[in-house]
Amino acid sequence: MEGKQLAFKAEQYSTLVFIVCLLSILFIGNPALSVFLGIFFSLIISPKKTFFSIKIGTLPLQAGIIFLGATISLPYAWSVGSDYFSWISLFVIFTFFLGIFLGKFFGVHHRITFLLSAGAAICGGTAIAAVAPIIKAKPQEILISITIVFLLNALAIVIFPIIGNLLNMSNSQFGAWSALAIHDTSSVMGAALSYSSESAQVAATLKLGRTLWIIPLLLISSWFFKSEGKNINFPKFIIFFLIAILANTFFDFSDNFLSILKNISQYLLLIGLFCIGTQLNVSDLKQLNIRPIILATCLWLVVIPLSYIIIMF
């Protein structure tokens, strides 16, 4: 009986700290702070896997992206996407095969190499989770890959806006750079939102265009690894994002309504980033070893300047 009471009090304490952190990030409105408060919450409180923020996962972030889509018109999305589509395609292909080459060079296991290359080329943890069952990746290999990508993405949310300001990048340039150079959609949006709302719109459009490459990746992976009968785990929120763009285009939302949508989107993105931060686990960090970290870091150090050159020239 006493054990149940202690567990109940611990859960109440976790919930109280969670609410305080959540109110703090909504009041301050800083995406980087949202992620790191989530990480701080996870490391200090060590919430159970059944805790609210862990169960809902990336749903608030996905909802925030969909609401952001409702602030973008089809002509705007086309003008942004058409400028970069061919470069995005070449970038994805180059990054993936560079990752495969570096994995062999550093002697990283081929499945971890494949997962990290897919994550760096397309959409971080989403690509890793989607391709893992097709290549028959082991749970530990998935865990290692996702943890490494998570740590690099958390770093990106802080350093990218600083670099963008130092290089005096425009809002459009920074949004495009974030969409190409950062792995996960969550961190792309976190970094871009820290820069400006316009950067977030550009980043969302280009990043979700880049995410579409997950379809050929899964089809090729299924053929290469002879994984018959495996379902393609396509990120469904992309469809709703496109529907939201169409809704804005055909109904021509008023400026006041667009302002409301932007505010809702920003709050949901902040909540989503915080929830993602709470999913970091100390036991996950203990599983890491140096070679996959070197592979992912070297690949990223090539991707960052390469993507900058693409958007500048």
pLDDT at 235: 65
Q: Is residue 131 part of a domain?
A: yes
Instruction: Tell me: pLDDT of 137 over 60.
Output: yes
- pTM of the full structure: 0.78
Q: How many domains does the chain have?
A: 1
Q: Is residue 17 part of a domain?
A: no
Please give the Cα distance from 148 to 294 (Å, whole number): 10
Q: Is residue 44 part of a domain?
A: no
Q: Is residue 9 part of a domain?
A: no
How far is CA 42 from its chain centroid? Answer: 18
Helices 197-211 and 74-106 cross at an angle (nearest 10°) of 60
Q: Is residue 34 part of a domain?
A: no
The parent domain of residue 73 ranges over 56-312
pLDDT digits (tens, 9 = 90+) for 192-231: 988 998 899 899 888 877 887 887 887 777 777 765 555 5
Reduced to 3 states, what is the DSSP secondary structure of residue 51? coil
What is the band of 8 on the pLDDT scale with cuts at 50, 70, 90?
A: very low
Q: Is residue 305 part of a domain?
A: yes
pLDDT digits (tens, 9 = 90+) for 241-277: 888 888 988 888 888 898 898 889 888 888 888 887 8
Q: Is residue 49 part of a domain?
A: no
pLDDT digits (tens, 9 = 90+) for 158-167: 899 999 999 9
pLDDT at 232: 57
pLDDT digits (tens, 9 = 90+) for 145-154: 888 888 898 8
